[in-house]
Amino acid sequence: MVHRQSSPLTRGVAAVFITLATLWAVFPFYWAIITSFKNRLDWFNYSFIPFLQFEPTLDWWTQELGPAGRGPELARAMTSSVTLALGAAIIALLLGAPAGYALARFRFHRWKNRDITMWFLSQRFLPPVATMIPIFLMVRTVGLLDTPWALAIANATFTLPFAVLILRDTFKELPIELEEAALVDGASPFQVFRLIALPLAAPAMVAAGIICFAFSWNEFLFALILTVKNAVPMTVIIAGSEHTKGVIFADVATRVLTGVIPPAILALLVQRYIVRGLTFGAVKG
């Protein structure tokens, strides 16, 4: 097989496009970083280089993270965000792994596999606002209003399709001969699922969990409606940066950077599992 090399012009255009796309994606974070160190008068100036174009200050970080400022409020919001995101991811994996395995290994007749899969997928197209009133009434009835667990359960209903679809395709890629050999040796179907299929699909489960975690971490609508004070997450805190005096841009910048750090660290720690899971790299027969 002969591989044609791309021309210098093609490589140059691709390099320029990748560079522009990278700058487009990174610039908001750079803006947030330099704005968090600017004085109020420098917010509206075209100044991007500290010490040369503006004098940096730590006043906004001290005000946001210090114990005398809004540090306790941000700590409580961060705890709520971590709790609801982890809870939603765990619920989605606990329900999505058996559902994905069943869709991959069994054939349903009355309600076909394709129809079940489309039903799961349709949950992503359902506008969350359409379910807001019923969810609010149910959460209030069971006494979970203004708790991270209410947000975790609500977000799990919309992140569950990711777990089901990713794990279904992963289980399809696993060699069925291993499971058949275990059945011949006397293992039950549940033991096959728990002892063979799940360990082999671990990278995909990590990838699905990270995706569910990220979507739950960024969710705003449920957090705004289902929380009042005790369980307010970071998304609502960031949106609350507008005051009677206008938008406090330094507050927005510091809160955004604070809210980005936990999912970024988590993604870096499990990066190789995400790549393996999304490319079905567990075992291929």
135 with 168, same domain: the answer is: yes
Which pLDDT score, from 0 to 100, does residue 75 have?
A: 85
- 71-90 b/e (C-beta count within 10 Å ≥ 16 → b): eeebebbbebbbbbbbbbbe
Backbone CA torsion sign across 160, 163, 167, 168: positive
87 with 185, same domain: the answer is: yes
15 with 87, same domain: the answer is: no
CA 215 and chain centroid, separation: 4
Q: Would you tell me the crossing angle of helices 202-218 and 148-173 to the nearest 10 degrees? A: 150
127 with 243, same domain: the answer is: yes
258 with 232, same domain: the answer is: yes
Which pLDDT score, from 0 to 100, does residue 10 have?
A: 82
User: What's the token pair of residue 108?
Assistant: 């349903």
Q: Is residue 104 part of a domain?
A: yes
User: What's the rounded Cα separation, in Å, for the pair 254 and 43?
Assistant: 14
Q: Report the domain count for the chain.
A: 2
CATH code assigned at 203: 1.10.3720.10
User: What's the rounded Cα separation, in Å, for the pair 195 and 183?
Assistant: 12
User: What's the rounded Cα separation, in Å, for the pair 134 and 160?
Assistant: 19
Which pLDDT score, from 0 to 100, does residue 66 have?
A: 72
150 with 28, same domain: the answer is: no
Per residue in 8-40, pLDDT tens? 778 888 889 999 999 998 888 888 888 888 887
Tabulate helix, strand, coil % of the chain (nearest 5). Answer: 70, 0, 25
What share of the chain has pLDDT > 70, as a percent? Answer: 91
Lookup result for tokens 């993604």 = 267
Per residue in 135-174, pLDDT tens? 999 999 998 898 989 999 999 988 999 899 889 988 988 8
- pTM confidence score: 0.81
C-alpha angle 119/158/85, rounded to 5°? Answer: 150
Which residues are CB-contacts of 179 (< 8 A; sequence separation ≥ 6)? 105, 192, 196, 197
Angstrom CA distances, 102 to 98, 190, 200, 207, stand at 6, 11, 16, 19
The closest of 212, 49, 52 to 124, measured between CA atoms, is 212
C-alpha angle 212/76/236, rounded to 5°? Answer: 60
User: What's the rounded Cα separation, in Å, for the pair 43 and 13?
Assistant: 35
Per residue in 230-240, pLDDT tens? 889 988 888 87
Angstrom CA distances, 48 to 55, 56, 73, 249, 257, stand at 11, 11, 30, 15, 17
133 with 249, same domain: the answer is: yes
92 with 233, same domain: the answer is: yes
The answer to whether the beta carbons of residues 100 and 200 sit under 8 Å apart is: no
* Domain, as residue range, for 35: 8-64
Q: Is residue 285 part of a domain?
A: no
131 with 256, same domain: the answer is: yes
94 with 131, same domain: the answer is: yes
57 with 189, same domain: the answer is: no
**54, β-bridge pairs:** 50
Count, in order, helices (H) and strands (E) of the chain.
Answer: 14, 2
36 with 80, same domain: the answer is: no
Q: Is residue 236 part of a domain?
A: yes
* Average pLDDT of the residues of the chain: 84
Local confidence band at 69 (pLDDT 50, 70, 90 cut-offs): low
